[in-house]
Structure 1
C-alpha cells in the first residue's frame, strides 16, 4: 500500500491544517523551501493559523531572513503574537532583518516590557555581543542564605521566560545589579540551606563588555568551556548573558562568511538558492573589479620586460607555471592561518613563530618545487641557463609567497580588518606581479643574452 504524500504548506493554509503540515514536514530545508515560495497573501493568512508551539517550531527551523519576510507580510497583531513566543535574542535577530517602519509597528503591538527588551537588543551594533545576548539571567544576593536564594529563584521563575537558558549558572549581584560572582545552579540546590551564598560564590568570573565583537566573545566562551558568559557594562552591571548555543551559531555564521570571503566574494545574507542573480552580482562584482585592477599591474610588469622576452622567447613558456606556483603556495598558508586565527590559535604576538614555521616549511617546499621545475625545464630542452633561471625563480617565489602570506593575516587583524579578505584570489594577484619581477631579475643575473638590457 503506497504512502500518502504530505500536503504542501499552501494546501495546509487553505485547509486550516498548518499544525498537521508541521507534524508531517520535519526537514528544515523542506520547510524553508515551501515557505519561501508562498505569496504575500498566503503568508498573511498563515499568522492566525499558527499556535504558540507551532510558531516556535517553525521559526526555529528557518533562517532569520525568511522568518523576517514572513512576519513582515502579516498583520502587526498576528506577527506580534508570534514574536511574543520566541526567545528574546532570536526575536531580535529576526526583527533586525525587517525594515525600520514595519519593525516599529510590530514592536508597538507587543506588550511594553517585551517591546522595550527587544528595542534594547536592537540598539546595539549587530556585530557586538550585546546584540546577541539574553537579557535575563538568574541572580541572587550575596547576603542571602542558600535557602533564601532557592526560594527567591522559585519566585522569579514565574517572571523569567524560557529564553533565559541560564539554568547552569546563578549570578551573584548587589542591589545595583553589579556582578560580584557566580555559582553553579547544581551547587546551590545541593548546599546546606543555612549556608551563606557568599561562601559558595566564585568571584573569578569571565565576563565581556557589551561592545565586544560577538565572534571574540563566542570564542572566549568555547575556550573556557563555559555554558554562558555574562555581559557587563563599564560599571560591572549585569546586562545579560551570551549562551553556548548562541555562541555556536555565531561561530558557524562567521566560519561561513570567512569561507565566502576566501573565495573572493562578499557573504550572502540569504541561503544560496534564494539569492537572486542581482544579489550575487552585487556580492561578487566589487571583488572582481578590485582584482581586475590589481591584476592589471601584471601586464605592466610584462610590458616593462618586453625586450627580455623578445631576446629569450623561452622565458615566456614558464610564466603561468611560476605565478601559479606562487599563488597556490600563498593560498595554502592564508587558508590555514585565517582559520587558526578565527579559532583563537594564532594572534599578532605569534607572528614571529608563524613566520619561522612557514619559512622553514617554505624552504622544504621550495627545494621540492625547484627540483620539479628543473625536471620540467630539462624535458622542454630549453638549455642549462634557462633551466637554472627557472629553478632558482621557483624557489624564490615560493619563499616570497610564504613570507607575504604569513604576515598579512595577523597584521590585517591588528588593523581591525577581517583577515578573511586576504582571500585566495587576492594573494594570487599580489604574487603574480611580484613573482614576475623576481623572475626577470634572476634572468638578468643568470642569462648572458640579457646582459646590457
Structure 2
C-alpha cells in the first residue's frame, strides 16, 4: 500500500536532480512511489525535459496514467517524444477522446498518425469523430461519453441505465433526456432522480437546460456554462441531437486558458501554454521578441512627434520635464478602459453593437478623470514652474485622459467586430497610439497657451 505522504513532504526538485546526477535511480523511484497525482504533476512541471521523462518512467503505472492525463498538452507532447512507442501507445489509449485530440494538436503529423493507428478500432473511431470538429470549437473539448434517458423511462430504469454506464460516463450528476431520434428535450438532475418514486416517469422530472451547438467557440460555451452555474452543459449538433457534454471542470480549464492568453497578449507577449519553469528559454524569447519589434516600430511614432516639435521644446525646455508624466498617464488610462471593456466582452456584458454607448460612458469617465488628475497636475506644476506651465499641463492631462479612455474603450469592440482577439488590440497598441496622440495634443496646447 503506497504511503500517504503529506504535500509538504513531497520530494523537492533540487533533491531529485541531485539523485539523478548521482545515477541513484532506486532512490528516485522510492521518492516518487508514494506521491499523489497532483504532487507528481507539480514535480514533473518543474523538471527539465530529459529528467521529466526519466522520473515519469519510474512512476507506478496507475499513477503514471493519472499524471499523464493531468499534464498540459505541450508537456504530454514532450513525453511522447522522449518515451518508447509501446509506453506512449498504452498511456495514449487510456485517455479520453477529447484529451487525445488536445495532445495530437501538439504533435507532428507523422507521430500523431502513428498513435491514432495504434488505437483499438472503437477508440480510433471516437477520436476521429472529435478530430472532425473545427479547431477551438467546443466539439474538440466536449466529452461524448454521456448518459441519455428517454422521457418515458421510469426513475428505476434511468438509475439502472446510469449504473451500467457509471465507469465510462463523463458525469452522472446531469443526465440528458432525449427523444427516439436522440434530440435533446431536457436534462435530469441526479438529486431529483434519487428522490423520485421508482415508478415515476422521467417526463415529470426533467427540466429545460441551456445547450450549445458543437461548432460554437469553446470559450463561449465554457462562459455560458459558468454564467448559468451548470454542472454540465449539453452539446448538440445542427439538428438538435445530443452529441456530448461539457463538464464544469473542463469549462473552468478552458476559461483559465483564455484568461492566460488574454493576460499575455495584453502585456505584449504570446501565451506560453505550459508551466513557466518547464518552458525552454528559447520559447520565452520567441514569445516576446516579435511583440517587442512591433512595439518598437510603433514607438517610432513618438520619436517622429518629438522631432516635429523640436523647435517648441527648444524654446521652452521645461516642457520636456512633463513628457514622461503625460504619456504614462495617457497609457495607463487607455489600458484601464481597454481592460475593463475586454473583460465586459468576455462576460457578455457588452457586444460590438454597444460601441456608441461604451464610447459615451468612457468619454464621460475620461473627462471626469481628466478634471481630477488635471487639477492636481495644474496645482503642482503652477507652484514650481508658474501658472502658464501649470495651465498647459492641466489642460493636457484633461485632454489625454478623455482621449485615452475613449480610444481604450472602443478598441476592443472594434477588434471583436473585425474578428481579432481584443487582447491583441488592447494595452500595447493603445499605449503606442495614445503616446503619439498625447504628445501632439501637449505641444499644440503649449503653443496656444505660451504663444510659442
Same fold (TM over 0.5): yes
Measure how far apart 1:127 and its partner are: 1.4
Question: Aligned equivalents of 2:82 and 2:344: distance in 1?
Answer: 42
- SS, match of residue 253 in structure 1: helix
Question: Aligned equivalents of 1:97 and 1:261: distance in 2?
Answer: 21
Q: Does 1:73 align with 2:82?
A: yes
Deviations 1:117-139 (A, max 9, x none): 12222333331111110011110
Contact between 1:89 and 1:133, CA under 8 Å: does it hold in 2?
yes
Question: Aligned equivalents of 2:119 and 2:234: distance in 1?
Answer: 27
Give 2:191's aligned residue.
186
Of 287, 291, 314, the match for 2:291: 287
Give 1:108's aligned residue.
117
Q: Does 1:176 align with 2:181?
A: yes
Question: Aligned equivalents of 1:221 and 1:4: distance in 2?
Answer: 35
Q: How does 1:47-126 map to 2 (within 5 A)?
A: 50-51=60-61, 53-126=62-135
Measure how far apart 1:257 and its partner are: 1.3
Q: Which stretch of the first structure deviates more once superposed, 23-32 or 177-186?
A: 23-32
Structure 1: runs of 5 or more not aligned: none
Give 1:427's aligned residue.
430
Give 1:257's aligned residue.
261
Give 1:224's aligned residue.
228
Measure how far apart 1:263 and its partner are: 1.0
Residues 310, 35 of structure 1: alpha-carbon distance in 2 compared, 3 angstrom cutoff: closer
Q: Does 1:377 align with 2:376?
A: no
Question: Aligned equivalents of 2:30 and 2:102: distance in 1?
Answer: 25
Contact between 1:144 and 1:197, CA under 8 Å: does it hold in 2?
yes
Q: Does 1:397 align with 2:400?
A: yes
Q: Does 1:198 align with 2:203?
A: yes
Q: Which stretch of the first structure deviates more once superposed, 347-356 or 168-177?
A: 347-356
Structure 2: runs of 5 or more not aligned: 1-8
Give 2:156's aligned residue.
147
Question: Aligned equivalents of 1:140 and 1:12: distance in 2?
Answer: 56
- SS, match of residue 294 in structure 2: helix
Deviations 1:128-175 (A, max 9, x none): 111110011110123333333333333444xx51xx322111112233
**Number of aligned pairs?**
437
Residues 307, 166 of structure 1: alpha-carbon distance in 2 compared, 3 angstrom cutoff: same
Give 2:419's aligned residue.
416
Question: Aligned equivalents of 2:89 and 2:303: distance in 1?
Answer: 59
Question: Aligned equivalents of 1:4 and 1:259: distance in 2?
Answer: 31
Question: Aligned equivalents of 2:438 and 2:26: distance in 1?
Answer: 67
Question: Aligned equivalents of 1:350 and 1:290: distance in 2?
Answer: 30
Q: Which stretch of the first structure deviates more once superposed, 254-263 or 304-313?
A: 304-313
Of 204, 212, 216, the match for 2:216: 212
Measure how far apart 1:81 and its partner are: 1.6
Measure how far apart 1:296 and its partner are: 1.2
Measure how far apart 1:267 and its partner are: 0.9
- SS, match of residue 213 in structure 2: coil
Measure how far apart 1:369 and its partner are: 1.6
Task: Say what the alpha-carbon RMSD is for the aligned residues.
Answer: 2.9
Question: Aligned equivalents of 1:255 and 1:443: distance in 2?
Answer: 42
Contact between 1:83 and 1:91, CA under 8 Å: does it hold in 2?
yes
Contact between 2:364 and 2:402, CA under 8 Å: does it hold in 1?
no
Question: Aligned equivalents of 1:311 and 1:104: distance in 2?
Answer: 70
Q: Does 1:321 align with 2:325?
A: yes
Contact between 2:11 and 2:32, CA under 8 Å: does it hold in 1?
no
Measure how far apart 1:12 and its partner are: 10
Residues 126, 4 of structure 1: alpha-carbon distance in 2 compared, 3 angstrom cutoff: closer
Give 1:21's aligned residue.
32
